Amino acid sequence: MTQRLLSLAAGNLPEFSPVEVATAAAAAGWSAAGIWFDADSWTANTTRSVRNAYERHALTPLDIEVIWIHPGADDPNHERLIAAGAEIGAQNALIVSSDPDIEHTKQRFERLCQIADGYGLNACLEFLPITAIKTLEQALEVLNCVQHPRGKLLLDALHLMRSGGSVVNIANIPTDLLTYAQPCDAPAALPQQGENPLLTDAVDGRQLLGDGGLPLQEFIRALPADLPLSPEIRSRALRERFPAAIDRATELLTSTRRYLDRLPAE
């Protein structure tokens, strides 16, 4: 059985609250889980309730999401998210950018690294082809420019492949930039569904590990052997098949363990 830390990504249960996600993760047997921060509804009481849920279930809060870097002034909700994550005990804050000015993104990301450092969290930049930081190369440009020890890179298997990347590129990433990764599977070719196929693919079309056509085995083998994995499998099919949070969390953990345990020894 894999010895990696396995975390239930918050995006797998988008219709449930952070406390419900933690409860489902613990009941299913996950060792860790992620936290979705909704700035409009989040209060100090939410922070206490989520922290208590993680402590009660002896669950590791791997990450809290998501900070969106937008054009314009700093958003005070970004520090609110980081502060809440710190109080709960989260290790990482997930960050993406929709600012088309990459120099501005670098400035904002550096500031977020400084804020995260003050709270003891990593600032993890994720690239997605549906955002302004679309590729691994762009994400590394930001990280290499900022050069902050809290600045990290989040690799998502789907986003790497859909942005034209390759698992070969992972070998060139300094391992100290990686704190966790998000594997998932999907059709090898992008399905042309919806008005925005990339968005539909990311939020509705992911598949359980081994069920699709991505070079997932190579992706996982290219990562450090002890790197925590947080499978993000946003899937309309899974939401419809497993409407209950515990059932979906259980299916995700069972299928993830089965896939990892069947990987051939190196």
Whether the predicted pLDDT of 156 surpasses 70: yes
41 within some domain: yes
Please tell me the predicted confidence (pLDDT) of residue 79: 98
140 within some domain: yes
Tens digits of residue pLDDT in 136-145: 999 999 999 9
Strand 151-156: give its sheet, edge to edge: 7-8, 32-36, 60-69, 92-97, 122-126, 151-156, 178-182
132 within some domain: yes
- Spatial distance between the Cα atoms of 256 and 252, rounded to a whole number of angstroms: 6
Over residues 229-236, the mean pLDDT reads 97
The CA R_g of the chain, rounded to the nearest whole Å, is 17
175: which residues sit within 8 A by CB, 6+ positions away? 224
What's CA 264's distance to the chain center, in Å?
26
Surface-to-core class of residue 162, CB atoms within 10 Å of its CB (0-12 exposed, 13-18 middle, 19+ buried) = buried
Tens digits of residue pLDDT in 29-64: 999 999 999 999 999 999 999 999 999 999 999 999
- pTM value is 0.95
Please tell me the predicted confidence (pLDDT) of residue 266: 62
Whether the predicted pLDDT of 131 surpasses 60: yes
- Binned at pLDDT 50, 70 and 90, residue 220 comes out as very high
249 within some domain: yes
266 within some domain: no
| Number of domains forming the structure of the chain | 1
Domain interval for residue 45: 7-261
Distances (CA, A) of 227 to 4, 42, 131: 7, 30, 25
1 within some domain: no
Give me 208's structure tokens.
Answer: 């359980």
134 within some domain: yes
Looking up residue 29, the CATH number of its domain turns out to be 3.20.20.150
What's CA 221's distance to the chain center, in Å?
18
154 within some domain: yes
